[in-house]
Amino acid sequence: MKLDPTDIRYLSSEEFRVLTAVEMGSKNHEVVPTSLISQTSKLRSGGINKILGGLAKRGLVSRVQNVKYDGYRLTYGGYDYLAIRAMSKRDTVTAIGNQIGVGKESDIYVVSNAEGEELVLKLHRLGRISFRAIKTKRDYLGKRKSATWMYMSRLAAQKEWAFMKVLHEHGFPVPKPIDQARHCILMELIDAYPLRQISDHPSPGTLYSSLMDLIVRFAHSGLIHGDFNEFNILIKRETGEPIVIDFPQMVSTRHPNAEWYFNRDVECIRTFFKRRFKYESLLWPKFTSTLREGVEKEKGDGDDEGFRLDVVVAASGFGNKDQEELEKARFLEMSKQEEEWRSRNSGDESESGESDEMEGDEEVAHSDESPAKDEEGEHTKEDEEPEASEDGEAPGDEQESDDSRDTDSLSERDVPKSQHRSNSKKKVAPDVKDAVSSELARQKARQQKRHHSKKSVGKAGRVGGSKLKADKRIKIGIKDGWD
């Protein structure tokens, strides 16, 4: 659908209020009932019908006569008006010009802001006949099972806005993002033309190497463009530098098909240069070697290029499991730093603690003089009357064991407190995962034993059959009677 902005200046605030109510009702209804629209907009029912009729004539909503109820559905024209009105309130869009581009999933227009500066407005329009397999090929839905095309267009715009903003902040050759509302993205206008329009180039080798360097630079940051071809590359008119556009399909280097996407981007550039400029190079980047270089750069210099941008923008392929692994790695690094810090400060703590412990040992020695004398008296009596033990051990062995106990107690006293603390820290904590799994297994076994046991369930009422059959006593004989 082509954008027709002529009627946007004539719409009243009430009409925009009704459009917003239809948009809010579309979250839970495919066809929004008229009663729900009036309830959401908080306008009179008579006025609602008149406003809806006017919006339907302009093509902003479409009426659907259902079997159970009558309602309306929001069109792309009404969605465009809501997005442009949101930007006009922020003074980022004040005038709309001509259409400069049409893609399989978007329309491009020239607009201007309050200062008269020309900008580019991109409107995502998913659901066209030539591009309807997007629900299975891209992860716009996430965990959702279904969604409308307008809602998916909004998700695509949000994803592209996030990628463009992060890439521009880190110095990548991308357009400067300015504003985003619903399914529309506002960016700067660059004086450039697409690569597919170039028929001849003075140095195709230089351009080829710069484009391959861009692919490698994306991969070092943890991203793969996914659609790196002559349609999504602009060449500046003055300098000849390449500018990359169209980012909704970007994936992480941890994506299961990351190598295939990377090789496809490289092959697109190679085939284009071979077909258009008759230039074929013997050098091109490989996926494994590129990732290896990126890891080495992260460990080495620590520049911004080594920072993984897929973590920041949550590119597809970087899920919750990868985030948990990243948090575990950060926790291990922090624990190593803490251990190093403790090992450095352990010498100072031991020196300061030895003086305090020496004074405490002297006090303990004075207080233990009397029991030591009593023990000596007992030992003398035992020496005068030596007796063999029942186990056949000599009395000297018991004395040696007592002496060993005393030496052990003295050795424990002489050890400084810092060593006790370090020994206590060396104790390995029990595995929490095994404990939790064993406890869950026990609970599951209890539930199975409770609900799936073979015990008979007592039935209310009389037992089936006659009384003689129901009697469980043993029958001895007819004459003898019952036992």
In the structure encoding, which two tokens stand for residue 108, read together?
């491009």
Question: Quick check: is 348 catalytic?
Answer: no
Cα–Cα distance, 331 to 449 (Å, whole number): 41
**Of the residues 80, 227, 265, 310, which is catalytic?**
227
| Cα maximum dimension of the chain | 125
Cα–Cα distance, 255 to 324 (Å, whole number): 16
| CA-atom Rg of the chain in angstroms | 40
The set of catalytic residues is 227
